[in-house]
A and B are shown apart, each in its own frame.
Chain A
């Protein structure tokens, strides 16, 4: 699709508002040999129940339909694994469905639960995601992940997803990064930031206190990307409970408004056709006229440098929530930092910065909890959970974990959920002596982006405190 019809550009109009009531997650790790998937799922569910001071039985009484995000059946070697989980949660005979959209599976699972509540089908819905990536050796895991590329046209070449993905990074690196050493260091800063924030998160798999030099000296994966630029492979589960207004206020006195949208683009990057840049509310039609002059080779959109799916998800979500400028209107974001460079590409796709200028979001200090240059709060902190680089990428759970993390800031309960000594001990992890409270003070609105591979699926979930809704929402 090169042009959009009026119908396709419609801002989604839901029949009723949908609220996030609670959420919970398990520990995340590279391998968890001592637990079955259902045990991790129950860990996540118990945390969600306890968060609103309900017993699991009390919480289950509200649930009317269930949405299960689990990307790779191959990894778990169990088809219809959703039915196993549904039974172990004791939720039969309620309707349930499995959702699979690669790396965006978590976000898509919320999208489905959201529509179920917004339509009136269910007053309350469960969105639960998990992934089990520890049950095959790494090279077989790579083969499975590569099977999410085109099996005839891509997978036979190396059986390595990085090969189909990092070509986009290479193009961005040369066209927009201009192969500058300073840009390479900016990429490294993202890894330093996210690994560092992971140190404050007991759920996180890869907390590290590192420097830009450590990133630049880590092994090369695919030039210019190095090992510390890349996301984790994880095991774990996370879930949220969504409800309509009446039910949400029965369950808790502080639910958050939730809006979820989705976009897509071709599985093979090879199939992407040129088009004009679809504009977000904070962009003007003429601002990209000289993009190819400022960045030679950068005028082919989306080419190999833009994620059209992310742009479309943002377009719909901003219309739904009334967001004009994400940097002004949001207080924090959780982005899909699969690689440091794709994180920068996403800043542009979702309008945090214009195309070509993504790096300035990091270089200005805006993306930090505390701006390192001014000592003041960052304008729009990103990935305080540690993200996919520091916290986890348990595919089906990732997009849900991000939403929970954003919500805990708006609820003002981030510290409570991350400082708890008992939790650190239960996860067999040591709380650092310099543990820092990353609560974003006064957070009212936030967003999570869930993203699949080369950008085949992207969802945007916006959370808004009901007392701080924006004007002009759809």
Chain B
């Protein structure tokens, strides 16, 4: 069974063009009890999905440029006009008009703090973070929502000031490219591949 030539995808003329392998087949194995009686089988499955970021793509693209993008309702007729959102919302949840992009990088550097947090040794399959994971929920001044992330350095406390760091070297183009460290952390201490 080979797992080489992992599948990749391009878009050409508005259509997905796939190349390489997207799934790998392995044989089933019987499941038996102590007496040797057949109870079932294993069903191996190894496959790759294709996923569209759609209107959120600028957010994930810009993490690798060390930018934290949010959005804002720009419809003056909306009763929550001017509300700022991160997670990045493509449309305003009230008027459903397309939100305007806002760069929250400077705000996050100056005014982010831990709203709540949790630390866990437990993870699920496919986890890539070092354990224990320190989840932090970060609030920003003037933003209506509270962003979830993970703290790369130090121990979290409620109210602690934190700043964003970005995986600018070998980015994954996922939310994992964004992490948080205590305000005042020196650049030399950042994890491999991350910068302010």
Contact = CB atoms under 8 A, between A and B. Distances in A.
A274 B144 contact: yes
Contacts of B89: 271
A446 B193 CA distance: 57
B158 A154 contact: no
Interface in B94-133: 94, 115-129, 133
A221 B118 CA distance: 10
Contacts of B40: 33
A253 interface: no
A180 to B, nearest CB: 16
A270 B148 contact: yes
B133 A158 contact: yes
Which of B53, B117, B149 is the most central at the interface, judged by chain A CB atoms within 10 Å of its CB?
B117
Contacts of B60: 152
A34 B39 contact: yes
B148 A77 contact: no
B126 to A, nearest CB: 5
B140 to A, nearest CB: 12
Given A171-B158, A271-B87, A304-B146, A143 B126 contact: yes
Contact of B125 (A34, A159, A220, A297): A159
A167 B117 contact: yes
Which of A146, A171, A220, A271 is the most central at the interface, judged by chain B CB atoms within 10 Å of its CB?
A271
Contacts of B115: 171, 304
Contact of B148 (A140, A154, A161): A154
B46 to A, nearest CB: 12
B113 to A, nearest CB: 12
A431 B52 CA distance: 54
B154 to A, nearest CB: 16
Interface residues of B, number: 47
Contacts of B144: 273-274
Nearest to A145: B124
A34 to B, nearest CB: 6
A146 B137 CA distance: 17
A373 interface: no
A158 B127 CA distance: 5
Contact of A153 (B39, B83, B148): B148
Nearest to B150: A157
B135 A156 contact: no
Nearest to A304: B116
Contacts of A223: 118-119
Given A33-B31, A152-B56, A156-B174, A169 B148 contact: no
Interface in B29-83: 31, 33, 39-40, 43, 45, 51, 53, 56, 60, 79-80, 83
Interface in B133-187: 133, 135, 137, 144-150, 158, 174-176
A221 to B, nearest CB: 7
B175 A2 contact: no
A170 interface: yes
Nearest to A154: B148
16 contacts: A139-B124, A150-B87, A152-B56, A153-B148, A157-B135, A158-B124, A158-B129, A159-B126, A160-B122, A162-B122, A164-B135, A166-B120, A170-B117, A222-B120, A269-B148, A274-B144
Interface of A: 1-3, 33-34, 77, 137, 139-146, 150-154, 156-164, 166-171, 174, 220-223, 268-274, 297, 304
Nearest 9 interchain pairs by C-beta: A142-B124, A159-B124, A143-B124, A171-B116, A143-B125, A166-B118, A139-B125, A140-B125, A167-B116
